Amino acid sequence: MTTPAVDRLSGRDWRLLLVLCGAIFLEGVDISMTAVALPAIREDLDLAPTALQWVVSAYVLGYGGFMLLGGRAADRFGRRRVFLFWLAVFVVFSGLGGFAQDGVVLVVARFVTGLSAAFLTPTGLSIITTTFTGPRRDRALIVYGATGAAGFSLGMVVGGLLTGFGWRWVFFAPVVLAALILVVAIKALPRAERRTPGRFDVVGAVIVTAAMVLLVYGVAEGPSLTAVLGGLVLLGVFAVVERRVPDPLVRFATLRAKASVDIAALLYAASFFGFQFILVLFLQDELGWTPWQTGLALLIMGIDAVLAPTLTPRLVRRFGLTRVTVAGLASGTLAYALVLRADTDWTYWDVLPSAVLVGIAFALAYGPLTIAATDGVPDAEQGLAGGLLNTAFQFGAALGVAGVTAVSAFGTTRLDGYRLAVLLSIGAAVAAAVLVATGGTGRRTAGPR
């Protein structure tokens, strides 16, 4: 079937997408490579399980905590300027993580690397949504989402191979890729763009980040009711502040219009990242697989890189965003459920069905969620819309990893704890599917504040 001419992207379009997709691929591969290297990092730096969890959570907290600020920075100060500056920061601190000699330095490096990604991701997304229009926009977003998902999947394989040479290469490799993207981006990014006047809501960003840190800490450490309540109180303070400042970090009309799809993205991210964290530990701790064996076994998850740009656009045109997204979430739920029967005698063929289903889930859910989260939003607030979506996604990732870490501690054996943790991922995926089925991808326009 030939792609209609209106859907086709020009050579110039593809060059721009190459840069933006390279950045989102970098973010995805960085996270998943780290996940595969966790057992090696734990052994070398002698980290406790809760400390190991913060190697992941520090990144996603810096990422999710400042995503809204990053999106607003793109809207206010220019997308090209923000993208190039923070890509350079990413290069520096990813390299610093590779030189870390203790857990504290590594966690700090991961936080700042995540902070730089918090500015890069919504900026890249807003460049796409303000440059492309109509069916070309939807196609570009699906390709963009597929590339990010492929980064998650292929990062496991690359991470496994690099960890075989030493876990530090997991942090050095992104430096090379980011530097190459930076060189190409200088020429490829559009220079002419409109900026939205206004002030930077730094206070709002600090409050919402502190709230996220307390919530994730509260889930991971006990759980701690005090920390969770403190996080909820700060979210309330954030809401009050945002209604009073002249230039809020979050405009509530946009938040209301996109709340359901953002919450669905949060739940889906929690389910996936929590599942990935537990699956990697299971394969290496219970089955005794090496990091490269783990990565190679999960390579099939990268099927989304093929399906998303080819099959997903056709399915969306025929069945709509809601049905396609629900199908993706159902695929993820089934993938997690199959792991409930995991045992110490499992082989690659036992893992394969879940890996395939996770790849299909990403192909069907990630791109459509991205389209729904940015559709109908004015160009001047595309950075905000992208920031809201990615904040939800990364906050969900942090909560998912923290949640499964806490739940797994209640198992009578380590394997039993892993099974309990997978139940949490299943619950989150089911909740996301229900939310989407009841209107989570409705294309609503953000009205006045």
Amino acid at site 266: L
Write down the pLDDT at residue 30. Answer: 84
List phi, psi (to 5°) of 4. -55, 145
CATH ID of 11-190, from 2.40.420.20, 1.20.1250.20, 3.20.20.70, 3.40.50.2000 = 1.20.1250.20
Element (H, E) at 313: helix 312-319
Give the per-residue pLDDT at 3.
47
pLDDT of residue 336: 96
pTM, rounded to two decimals: 0.78
- What is the structure's pLDDT at 222? 56
Residues 34 and 137: their CA atoms lie apart, in Å, by: 32
Rounded CA-CA distance 3/20 in Å is: 23
List, for residues 30-55, the tens digit of each pLDDT value: 877 887 788 888 888 888 777 787 88
- Cβ burial 60-82 (10 Å sphere, 16+ → b, else e): bbbbbbbbbbbbbbbbbbbbbeb
CB 300 within 8 A of CB 356: yes
Q: Which of 360, 339, 326 is nearest to 404 (CA)?
A: 339
Q: Residue 287: its pLDDT value, please? A: 92
Residue 447's pLDDT is 46
Q: Which residue has the tokens 């292929």?
A: 154
Contacts (Cβ under 8 Å, ≥6 apart) of 285: 39, 414
The pair of structure tokens assigned to 430 is 């089911």
DSSP 7: G
The answer to whether the CB of 274 falls within 8 A of the CB of 143 is: no
The stretches of 67-194 forming alpha helices (DSSP H) are 67-77, 79-99, 103-131, 134-165, 169-188
Q: Which residues of the chain have pLDDT under 70?
A: 1-10, 192-200, 216, 219-223, 440-449
Written as six digits, the tokens of 60 are 């996603």
* Interatomic CA distance for residues 180 and 244, integer angstroms: 43
The three-point CA angle 225-231-233 to 5° equals 100
Contact between 421 and 408 under an 8 Å Cβ cutoff? The reply is yes
What is the rounded CA–CA span in Å between residue 94 and residue 108?
Answer: 11
Q: By the 8 A CB rule, do 308 and 434 touch?
A: no
Give, in order, the Cα–Cα distances in Å from 338 to each of 17, 178, 278, 335.
Answer: 36, 37, 14, 6
- For residue 202, give the 3-state DSSP assignment: helix
Instruction: Please state, as a whole number, how many other Cβ atoms lie within 10 Å of the Cβ of residue 422.
Output: 26
CATH class of domain segment(s) 251-440: mainly alpha
Residue 215: enclosing H or E segment and its boundaries? helix 202-220
* DSSP helix/strand/coil, 186: helix
Q: Please give the Cα distance from 18 to 16 (Å, whole number).
A: 5
Number of H helices, E strands in the chain: 17, 0
Q: Which residue has the tokens 């405009």?
A: 251
Instruction: State percent of the chain over pLDDT 90.
Output: 26
Q: How many Cβ atoms are within 10 Å of 230's Cβ, its own excluded? A: 18
In this prediction, residue 422 carries a pLDDT of 95
Per-residue pLDDT tens over the stretch 199-246: 667 788 788 778 877 876 776 555 678 888 998 999 899 889 888 887
Integer Cα distance of 239 and 234 in angstroms? 9
* Radius of gyration (C-alpha) of the chain in whole angstroms: 20
User: What single string gives the DSSP state of each residue in 232-285?
Assistant: HHHHHHHHHHHHHSSS-SS-HHHHHHHHHHHHHHHHHHHHHHHHHHHHHHIIII
With b meaning 16 or more CB within 10 Å and e meaning fewer, what string describes 261-292? bbbbbbbbbbbbbbbbbbbbbbbbebbebebb
Residue 180: CB atoms within 10 A of its CB come to 12
